Chains A and B, each alone.
Chain A
Amino acid sequence: MIESENETFLVLSSALCGVSVDSFVAATPPKFPVPGDLNPHNTPIDRNSEFIRTLREQVGTSAVTSLLERFGHERQTAASDTVAQNLLRDPEQGPICRSIMKMWFLGVWFACDRPYDAHHVISAQAYKDALVWKVMQSHPMGYSEWTFGYWADDPPPLETFLTVIDK
């Protein structure tokens, strides 16, 4: 079966960001998990599509395609993290990969040639879904799904928020 660009992008993102594919979408620990929740905001495809669309808009469709083709090709003979490492060292594709990481971690687009200047927040939901909040075992600033007094106790362990790969 041929992997779509969207699927390849998700696997690349997982290798770059160090979290399992599922971690991109798991919210703060669901107290009442809803099996088969199909809310579009909670599905991997939605955020993934938004980010790949943003990437195409910002760096061009051909640059995205060649990045994903290279990743898909090299991944046939090497581990994903090895390929990700190679891409990050590439003078052309490295900056694109770092911008991809910033999208997932912050929900913010950083132009490849201005790595420290936040260009724009991709969407309000992208901000809320940003990985940094899970990495710090918390919630987005300004969007708590917790209840009064939770801050007096330790949060659940990191594994509750995301699955870290190849520690």
Chain B
Amino acid sequence: MNTVIDGDLFDVIVVGTGIAGAVVAKQLGLAGRRVLLIEAGEAIPHGRAAHLERFYLDTHKYPEAPYPVNPNAQSATVADLIEKDASPSYLDQSPRDNYTSFGSTYERRAGGTMWHWMGTCLRLLPSDFHLKTLYGRGVDWPIEYDDLGLKVRSDGLSYYDRAEREIGVSANKADQWYNAAAAPFRADYQFPNPGIPLSRVDQFFRDGVQGMTFEGYPVSVIPTPAGRNSRPYDGRRVCAGNTNCVPICPIEAKYDPTVTLHKAFNTGNVSALFQHVATKLILDEAKRRVTGVEYISYSDATKVSPSGRGIARAKQYVVAAHGIETPKLLLLSGCKNRNIGLNLMDHPFYLKWGLAPRPVFPYRGPLSTAGLDGLRDGQFRRDRSAFRIEIGNDGWNLGASDPTSTLLDFIEGNNKSKTNESRESLFGGNLVTRLNDIYTRQCRIGFELEQIPSETNRVTLSNSKDALGIPRPKITYSLSDYEKRALGAADRLTSALFAKLGIADKTSYELVMGAGHIIGTYRMGNDASTSVVTKEQRSHEFDNLYLLGSGVFPTSGTGNPSLTIAALAFWAADTIHDELR
């Protein structure tokens, strides 16, 4: 039976309830606009105890571990990528090696993938917006840093300022002005919360890199602005250092978009249809307008259970379903812009780990509290990707599946962790003493590489369909030589850094993984022949359609995307509000 939600009821329909959709809905709701959110996944849970129980009982504890599998709204999982022999992934891709696997996954549920984000809230650098002009690589963005970071809007804040307030970012401004390439702040600006203290691991790196340079640029430890509370904020608790930001903060000290969704609902002007999978935008090409969204609803998130079809209409439409589901929906709808789905990017994440010469006490505090950010910009960007380097507080959990792997080595007499070269089998007090010595000295860094657009990296529609009969996304992806050269630079830097700090390299295999950042595929630009949306994030093809999320990024930049996604969503909300006047 077809349900029709009439166009008189809502001003704006927003597909997707991640941070972009949540911010737009909240802002428009506050402005008195009537908003309907359409979300493929389950509603906001009443609490997170069930998710935590699922996490504790999961043997692998991958990012998706706490979240129930929903066969009506599937997504790729890390388990799919790692255990390639298991059931086929939702994403149709045929990776051949480390360099051709798109390693980032996402969640389809109220609040989106930021349920398991790290919480990193870096602003992009001014240079990130002008890669082509400055270094002859990639493309320029049609906007610049000042548009997001410095220009004051109606409330006296910039869009980055607003995003930082929404998330409750904890950072000290003075720490963030580390060199001339860093993102500037307004003179009177303060972060909403004080900075997060550096971990013992960070302090070890900070003290050890004093005076160090790499290719002429300073290597220095910068505290990372964090979307986690350093004091009570917005009705949420202070971080207790559960060391579990990914896959779930047990106490919601780390922001997630359900915070903003609740505020949106509290405006009284925002409604949501959960368990409604958008399948098509109805297009009027002559009038350049979207006239409705078709969806399939389902009744039970634990089993395939389609329960109806419908159409929802409004005046303005927003699709904020990230860099894979958004182009999928546009392609299913018959949008003609040839750029849709092209230029898929990530921040290829390259891990290195080792043993410090003395205890640094990892597995404590938030998963990461600092990085080596001074190498995000430089003349090297003509030749190879820039990167930021995340310092992990999680020992070898991410790289070597510790604490399990090292334990098994010493019980079974093996050396997978490279810590048991004589392959001893230990028990009793010797085992405890040896493990304590190793665990407390573990450290790791991760290089997050900037990626430049390539049309051959793309999302198309697969011939294979999901459980509701909707074509699955097909991914074609590989790293370019520009990015591979950055892996070489990362190797050289690791050697120099580990030598200076006395760290014994224990990296046991080459690990290039996804950062969970799904970027590109509907990029912004001034030219409709080479981009999908305008700098206002409005479709070049349809005047009442806005596409939000990191899909609009023309290059991946050198910062994690969530903060910029939020800042751009605040901008889009202003634009849509003006449009509705």
Taking Cβ atoms with an 8 Å cutoff, the residues of A that contact B are 15-19, 81, 84-85, 88, 97-98, 101-102, 105-106, 108, 115-116, 118-121, 123-124, 127-128, 131-133, 135-139, 141-144, 146-155, 158, 162, 164-167
A-B residue pairs, 3 tightest by C-beta: A151-B365, A124-B56, A136-B439
Known: A124-B53, A148-B239. A142 touches B428 (CB 8 A): no
Cα distance, A121 to B61, chains bound together (Å): 11
Any A CB within 8 A of the CB of B557: no
Q: Are A16 and B59 in contact (CB under 8 A)?
A: no
- Least CB separation from B416: chain A residue: A116
The complex places the Cα of A148 from the Cα of B365 at a distance, in Å, of 8
Kindly supply a per-residue 1/0 record for chain B positions 404-440, scoring 1 wherever the CB is within 8 Å of any chain A CB and 0 otherwise: 1001100110000000000001011111110110011
Q: Among residues 256 to 284 in chain B, which have CB atoms less than 8 Å away from a CB atom of chain A? A: none
A137-B361, A141-B363, A142-B250 known; A147 vs B240 contact (CB < 8 Å): yes
Contact between chains at B403 and A148 (CB < 8 Å): no
Q: How far is the CA of A144 from the CA of B435 in the complex (A)?
A: 21
B199 within 8 A of A: yes
Residue pairs across A and B with CB atoms within 8 Å: the count is: 167
Do B439 and A167 touch (CB < 8 A)? Answer: no
CB distance A138 to B364 under 8 Å? yes
Can you report 7 A-B residue pairs in the complex whose CB atoms are below 8 A from each other? A18-B428, A18-B430, A135-B436, A138-B243, A141-B61, A141-B363, A151-B241
Also in contact, A136 and B430, with CB within 8 A (given A118-B59, A142-B55): no
Known A115-B412, A147-B240: A155·B429 in contact at CB below 8 Å: no
A158 to B434, CA, bound (A): 12
> B57 in the interface, Cβ–Cβ < 8 Å?
yes
Contacts of A167 in B (CB 8 A): 429-430, 433
Known contacts A119-B59, A151-B369; A98 and B411 CB within 8 A of each other: yes
In the complex, the chain B residue whose C-beta lies closest to that of A151 is B365
Q: Complex Cα distance A154/B200, Å?
A: 7
Are the C-beta atoms of A81 and B428 separated by less than 8 Å?
A: yes
Q: Which of A101, A118, A149 contacts B411 (CB 8 A)?
A: A101
Interface residue from A18, A108, A158, A162 paired with B431 (Cβ < 8 Å): A18
Least CB distance from A126 to B in Å reads 9
Query: Which B342-386 residues have C-beta < 8 A from chain A?
Result: 359, 361-366, 369
List B residues at the A interface (Cβ < 8 Å).
52-53, 55-61, 197-200, 203, 230, 238-244, 248, 250, 359, 361-366, 369, 393-395, 397, 403-404, 407-408, 411-412, 425, 427-433, 435-436, 439-440
**Known interface pairs A138-B361, A151-B197. Does A144 touch B411 (Cβ–Cβ under 8 Å)?**
no
Contact B412 A18 (CB under 8 A): no
Q: What residues of B have a CB within 8 angstroms of the CB of A138 in the complex?
A: 243, 361, 363-364
Classify the secondary structure of A's interface with B: mixed
A15-B407 in contact (CB<8A): no
Residues of A close to B52: CB separation below 8 A: 124, 142
Contact of B427 among A18, A137, A142 (CB under 8 A): A18
- Knowing A18-B428, A84-B428, say if A132 contacts B241 (CB, 8 Å): no
Contact A141 B243 (CB under 8 A): yes
In whole angstroms, how far apart are the Cα atoms of A33 and B65 in the complex?
A: 33
Which residues of chain B come closer than 8 Å to A166, judged between CB atoms?
428-429
Which residue of chain B is the closest to A118 with respect to CB atoms? B59
The residue of chain A having its C-beta at the shortest distance from the C-beta of B54 within the complex is A124
Contact, CB under 8 Å: B431 / A149: no
Which of B197, B240, B428 meets A144, CB within 8 Å? B240
Q: Which residue of A lies closest to B249 (CB)?
A: A142
Which residues of chain B are near A162, meaning CB under 8 Å? 432
B439 cross-chain contacts in A, Cβ below 8 A: 132, 135-136
Return A96 CB to nearest CB of chain B, in Å: 12
Closest chain B CB from A16 CB (angstroms):
5
A121 touching B56, Cβ below 8 Å: yes
B429 x A106 contact (CB < 8 A): no
Q: Is the CB of A150 within 8 A of B365?
A: yes
Question: In the bound complex, do residue A144 and residue B427 qualify as a contact, i.e. CB atoms below 8 Å apart?
Answer: no
Q: Are A106 and B411 in contact (CB under 8 A)?
A: no
Which residues in A have their C-beta under 8 angstroms from that of B250? 142-144
The residue of chain A having its C-beta at the shortest distance from the C-beta of B405 within the complex is A116
Contact B230 A148 (CB under 8 A): yes
Q: How far is the CA of A150 from the CA of B433 in the complex (A)?
A: 23
Q: How far is the CB of B495 from chain A (nearest CB, A)?
A: 27
A16 touches B428 (CB 8 A): yes
